[in-house]
Amino acid sequence: MKTTSKFFNVFVCCCITATLITLAACNDYLDELPDNRTELNSEDKIEKLLVSAYFTNDPLFVCEFMSDNVDDYGDNNPNTNRFVDQVYAWQDVTEANNESPENFWANCYDRISVANTALEAIEEMGGATTTRLQHLRAEALLCRAYAHFMLANMYCQAYRSTDASEQLGIVYMDHTPTDLDENPDRPSLAYVYERIDKDIQEALPIVGSDYAVPKYHFNERAAYAFAARFYLYYEKWDKVITYANQCLGSAPKAMLRDWAYTATLIQAWDAISQHYIDASLNCNLMMLTSYSYMGLVFGPYRYLSKYSHGKYLAEHEDGEAPNIWGDDPFYSDMHTYSATNLDKTIFWKLPYLFEYVDARAGTGYYRTVYPAFTTDECLLNRAEAYVLTGQYDRAAADLTLWMQNIINTTLVLTPDDIQEFYNDVAYSYEDEAGIESTIKKHLHPSFDIGEEGGRVETMLQCVLGFRRIETLQAGMRWYDIKRYGIEIVRRVMGADGKPLRRTDVLTKDDLRRAVQIPLRIRHNSDHGGVTPNPRDTSEPRIDGKDLSGESFNPITTPKL
């Protein structure tokens, strides 16, 4: 936007050229645009500006396909492309599209700059002197914090209080720089989390919900849910509980997704997926729109189905696997699609939307809408914090509440029940070939969880298993894999739908857990570039491919 662009330094400008393909050169762009911050001289103008502070290039696809929620269905399966191949194999991605790490990086820093411009404009107006300006300031702070938080969880190793000061963070932007010679550096991950913490603490006392469509903004409950998630990753367990309580209120059951009601709707994918993203639902705290394939790859389609959440995963690791609730059913079951080169078992969640640019030519953009924060996830975040603070009965109560809400059961969980059940479950990958799996995997967090089979470890197995089901097809399993050092085996599935052979493993200390800084950003020859993440192997070749100008090129409507 013209109100922000002059203040991007060369680093940010080179990010944005990935999405603004009409720009000829960063410096030319910066030199030609005037300083329009003085136009941001009213509350209405700042509010309109902040609509652009929410990113639209999301990490959902990349995170889901890096996780253990997909398997490889064989070399003869043609339903893939080079981008998906690279993401699944934890390679340094060289392909560029709307969901690539390159465009996520660019989009985040673009939105951070919008938030910074709004904050500077508020200061130039004399500060947040009215209630509405306070709410706008809180929104800008939260947008800035959230974008940095998501960047850190993509491009850095998981936060560990034991060594965060030694881990590479991401470039932190708290202003709109004017020095074109300024070279970006990567402070420590500890520094990045401290700055995110500061933004959140400044925002929470002044956050509001007085928007025309509050669910598409950082409203109060969404802000508390974000805080609960952030402090969970920051290892501040008491704060997780505090903010989850403020989000969920005194009657959390009324705030959860009503799966029993969902079961009464017309059981068709379009109907259920549209209901899932209904902004009027109490459970959906903040909605984001995305240029994304997610509605296709996790819908009733063959598209990109070489890597799928198939029947084996469902029956052994999550939704249809033997679990603590026994034979009691989900209110809204998983759905299986099988045919030649197709093995997919999914929940009906995110819709597939298509934004036409040229209806006659059938070109446009893949789209989806998704809840960035939900009360159901917030409840499980609180359950995890309860476990890690030794409040096992409260954790079991939250786990029971989640379970009874999604499963048609009257079972009440106790810490003893949970420990006994999970101690009877074998760990994944302990067969001779190291490829068979269960709902339980070895945990290797940086913080102490006691011995395997103990109270804390078994209750965390339950929390992580429930959260895996809750966030399936939303990319968030990847963050638990990073936080808990969960090792993932890559395996090829046979014609019988069972694991055939092992091809790779992501170890607990694998450097590939931090996605590589995009090639363009780390190889900016004019200004040094951003320090890349370390790797065990040499950087991949890009085969002379020009990575620019691809992210928003219209694509043809897929044949469904």
Kindly report, residue by residue over 24-49, the tens digit of the pLDDT.
223 332 233 334 555 888 999 999 99
Q: Is the pLDDT of residue 5 over 70?
A: no
DSSP-derived secondary structure letter, 360:
T
Q: Is the pLDDT of residue 364 over 70?
A: yes
Please report the pLDDT score of residue 164 as a whole number: 97
Q: Rounded to whole angstroms, how far apart are CA atoms 22 and 52?
A: 19
> What are the start-end ranges of the H helices in 234-369?
237-248, 259-262, 269-276, 294-297, 311-316
8 A C-beta contact, residue 82 and residue 95: yes
pLDDT tens digits, residue range 295-338? 999 999 999 999 999 999 999 999 999 999 999 999 999 999 99
**509: buried, middle or exposed (CB in 10 Å: 19+, 13-18, 0-12)?**
exposed
Q: What tokens appear for 389 in the block?
A: 């603070």
Please report the pLDDT score of residue 15 as a whole number: 39
Helix axes 455-470, 375-388, angle to 10 degrees: 170
Name which of 6, 7, 12 is nearest 184 in CA terms.
Answer: 12
Q: Rounded to whole angstroms, how far apart are CA atoms 286 and 277?
A: 10
Please report the pLDDT score of residue 175 as a whole number: 87
pLDDT tens digits, residue range 204-233? 999 999 999 999 999 999 999 999 999 999
pTM above 0.85, yes or no: yes
